[in-house]
Chains A and B, each alone.
Chain A
Amino acid sequence: MTVPRGERLLMRGNEAVAQAAMDAGCRAFFGYPITPQNQIPDYMAAHMPEVGGVFLQAESEVAAINMVYGASAAGVRVMTSSSSPGISLKQEGISYLAQAELPCVIVNIMRGGSGLGNIAPAQADYFQAVKGGGHGDYRTFVLAAWSVQELYDLTREAFEMADRYRNPVLLLGDAILGQMMEPVVIPEEVVDPAALPPKEWATTGAKGRPRNIVNSLYIEPSDLQEVNLRLQARYDEAARRDVQYETEDLEEAEIAVVAYGTAARVAVTAIAQARAAGIRVGLFRPISLYPFPSKEIAALADRVRAIWVVELSTGQFVEDVRLAVEGRCPVRFYGRTGGVVITPAEVLREIQHLAEESQG
């Protein structure tokens, strides 16, 4: 199948992710079925053979992430996708990938949790995504999309970032973003995997060079500390170079809604209605959740009366916002959990309350 390029087409979020991965030069996908991300492996199974890539349905999420570990060690661009309970199973492998300095892209199309939860949209994996998730002193870079187009764009970007920092990159969507269809423009330009710079560290057979070892074991504490500090330096560099966010109507705003992904998508409708009713409110939307736009949120806190965080959890993302704000202004929270999605009417009502309070 040839995807029409350079023109608007209707595409499902999950399929946009899969197409973007192949366009980014990804030639290996290992996954395991779980709702609501199944269109990603389905699409990969159908189309990887067309580009000479590898699709393999693993026996478990645990096996899938370790296949990613092997393929990444062998130097190719590789991806896996899953949804919340499956991402929990992958955490051991993600910890090893990070410590072994192996790039890869992991997609989490989040669903309601905890436990088996349900298959409705949620943002309850925020802590797991941005604080490490598995054991040890590592981070994954985390990008969160709010539209099908952005799922496509960020998937492509995730591969560049993973290779640049030799670190796993986690792409967050949810049941809404993965399942809904929206217009998207797929660009003409694609990455030719053969044209990518060679990975000198990869295990590809030690012909004409000293052997390479991919490893996460450093028995000498000072050695492990050295590696961990090297990883930390990369995270610091990303915090300087790769913070991403978008703002809407913040110039004159007295209230800033801070939200990411689907929550931001809902909020933006309510913000437009509130502004039409004369309330000076705008949106700050982090796109990179790690590195987190702390400085930008602190600066925002200096010039608004209040910050209002809306998210699809009982309050995870709000903690990082509060850490960034450091008491500069009040931070209020509104969340829904268990797969219940916030409506624009709810958001509008809360914005109106907050506006009245901050006037008073």
Chain B
Amino acid sequence: MTKESAAQPRVIYDRPKALLPLRMHYCPGCTHGLVHRLVAEVMDELELAERTVGIAPVGCAVFAYNYFDCDMIEAAHGRAPAVATGVKRVRPDLFVFTYQGDGDLASIGIAETIHAAARGEKISIIFINNAVYGMTGGQMAPTTLPGQKTTTTPYGRDPESDGNPLRVCELLSVLQGPAYIARVSVTNPRMVRQAKRSIRRAFQAQLDGLGFALVEVLSTCPTRWGMPPVEALTWLEENMVPYYPLKEFVVADALREKK
């Protein structure tokens, strides 16, 4: 090894340009930061940052507007798809994505989600499903699993009284508007690479004017699940994946042809 190459090491892994060098507020072991990074990497690869408007939710990702180096809007709880619709309809040249959690998207904002999907609104949604309300202290989410303990289901979610979890991808897949619907997870490097491929397809669907796109990312919440990060990854694989199967539910033909 020469002196020169030691002084100038080859960079094989760096912070994406679209992600600002800030300390994030997320808990240790939370996968939000990882998904932020994937979104930013795809923004870089598609050179989108300068024409992007991102919409942040209410929930743990409420401060997402701080982290992405692009124009950002903070929306009311559940309303991000409506806000995104407003932006995209008046500025179709912009790339518009929302980043939402399960309470935001699947509970209080399910109407906005379904109708944006049904309209085939040309927006891309990153949907973080960690089966719990993180920000407010660990309450039941619309995606909390049967039997799962939360602060509002202290004896475990009982579908008889607490209702059943919502499978968002399956729900949206029967509509005509979506061009891309997929569920991924980020529990190991292979899954992370698959998640990034799906995010890229979801962004491409919008860029090609094909329609609505949503990527559901099964995510961990070690803090509210009450377990160490590695155990949380295992819990996700063993409990969430059987209930929320990982697959591409909708892929528009035009998107499939694109490698």
Q: CB-CB contacts of A1-37 with B at 8 A, as 1s and 0s?
A: 0000000000000000000000000011010000000
- Given contacts A74-B53, A93-B79, A205-B50, is CB(A69)–CB(B86) below 8 Å? yes
Query: Which of the residues A60, A92, A204 comes within 8 Å of B91, measured between beta carbons?
Result: A204
Can you list 10 A-B pairs with a CB-CB distance of less than 8 A? A28-B89, A62-B82, A66-B75, A69-B82, A73-B83, A76-B90, A206-B50, A208-B50, A211-B69, A217-B74
Q: Which A residue sits closest to B54, measured CB to CB?
A: A203
- Given contacts A73-B87, A204-B94, A206-B50, is CB(A63)–CB(B65) below 8 Å? no
Residues of B within 8 A of A208 (CB): 50
B85 at the interface (CB under 8 A from A): yes
In the assembled complex, how far is the CB of residue A157 from the closest CB belonging to chain B, in whole angstroms? 22
Q: Is the CB of B65 within 8 A of A70?
A: no
Q: Which B residue sits closest to A207, measured CB to CB?
A: B50
A98 at the interface (CB under 8 A from B): no
Q: Is the CB of B89 within 8 A of A63?
A: no
Q: Is the CB of B111 within 8 A of A63?
A: yes
A137 at the interface (CB under 8 A from B): no
* A24-65 with Cβ < 8 A to chain B: 27-28, 30, 54, 56, 58-60, 62-64
In the assembled complex, how far is the CB of residue A305 from the closest CB belonging to chain B, in whole angstroms? 50
A67 at the interface (CB under 8 A from B): yes
Residues of B within 8 A of A205 (CB): 50-53, 70-71, 91, 93-94
Residues of B within 8 A of A78 (CB): 86, 90
| A-B residue pairs, 8 tightest by C-beta | A70-B86, A66-B82, A67-B86, A203-B71, A70-B83, A59-B115, A71-B86, A66-B79
Q: Is the CB of A71 within 8 A of B72?
A: no
Known: A67-B82, A203-B87, A212-B71. 15 other contacts (CB 8 A): A28-B90, A56-B85, A59-B112, A62-B112, A67-B83, A69-B75, A73-B73, A74-B86, A204-B71, A205-B71, A205-B93, A206-B52, A213-B71, A213-B72, A214-B73
B227 at the interface (CB under 8 A from A): no
What residues make up the interface of A, taking CB atoms closer than 8 Å to B? 27-28, 30, 54, 56, 58-60, 62-64, 66-76, 78, 92-93, 96, 100, 203-208, 211-217
Q: CB-CB contacts of B74-109 with A at 8 A, as 1s and 0s?
A: 111001001111111111011000000000000000
- Given contacts A67-B83, A70-B86, is CB(A93)–CB(B76) below 8 Å? yes
In the assembled complex, how far is the CB of residue A67 from the closest CB belonging to chain B, in whole angstroms? 4
In the assembled complex, how far is the CB of residue A286 from the closest CB belonging to chain B, in whole angstroms? 32
A174 to B49, CA, bound (A): 45
In the assembled complex, how far is the CB of residue B21 from the closest CB belonging to chain A, in whole angstroms? 14
B175 at the interface (CB under 8 A from A): no
Residues of A within 8 A of B84 (CB): 70
Q: Is the CB of A63 within 8 A of B90?
A: no
Most A CB contacts (10 A, CB to CB) among B73, B86, B93 go to: B86
Q: Which B residue sits closest to A97, measured CB to CB?
A: B76
In the assembled complex, how far is the CB of residue A214 from the closest CB belonging to chain B, in whole angstroms? 4
In the assembled complex, how far is the CB of residue A266 from the closest CB belonging to chain B, in whole angstroms? 39
Interface size classification for chain B: 20 to 34
- Given contacts A206-B50, A215-B65, is CB(A27)–CB(B76) below 8 Å? no
Q: Is the CB of A70 within 8 A of B74?
A: no
Q: Is the CB of A206 within 8 A of B71?
A: yes
B252 at the interface (CB under 8 A from A): no
Q: Is the CB of B79 within 8 A of A54?
A: no
A69 to B55, CA, bound (A): 11
A250 to B245, CA, bound (A): 76
- Given contacts A28-B90, A54-B89, is CB(A66)–CB(B74) below 8 Å? no
Q: CB-CB contacts of B20-59 with A at 8 A, as 1s and 0s?
A: 0000000000000000000000000000011111010000
A62 to B82, CA, bound (A): 9
Q: Which A residue sits closest to B52, measured CB to CB?
A: A205
Residues of B within 8 A of A204 (CB): 53, 71, 91, 94
In the assembled complex, how far is the CB of residue B93 from the closest CB belonging to chain A, in whole angstroms? 8
Residues of B within 8 A of A203 (CB): 53, 71-73, 87
Residues of A within 8 A of B76 (CB): 66, 69, 92-93, 96
Q: CB-CB contacts of B106-131 with A at 8 A, as 1s and 0s?
A: 00000110010000000000000000
Residues of B within 8 A of A70 (CB): 55, 73, 82-88, 90
Q: Which A residue sits closest to B49, measured CB to CB?
A: A206
Residues of A within 8 A of B71 (CB): 203-206, 211-213
A76 to B51, CA, bound (A): 17
Q: CB-CB contacts of B182-221 with A at 8 A, as 1s and 0s?
A: 0000000000000000000000000000000000000000
B246 at the interface (CB under 8 A from A): no
In the assembled complex, how far is the CB of residue A44 from the closest CB belonging to chain B, in whole angstroms? 13
A78 to B87, CA, bound (A): 11
Q: Is the CB of A215 within 8 A of B74?
A: yes
B62 at the interface (CB under 8 A from A): yes
In the assembled complex, how far is the CB of residue A244 from the closest CB belonging to chain B, in whole angstroms? 30
A56 to B92, CA, bound (A): 14
A93 to B111, CA, bound (A): 16
Q: Is the CB of B70 within 8 A of A211?
A: yes
Q: Is the CB of A214 within 8 A of B89?
A: no
Residues of B within 8 A of A30 (CB): 86
A138 to B51, CA, bound (A): 32
A30 to B88, CA, bound (A): 13
Most B CB contacts (10 A, CB to CB) among A30, A60, A73, A207 go to: A73
Most B CB contacts (10 A, CB to CB) among A59, A68, A93 go to: A59
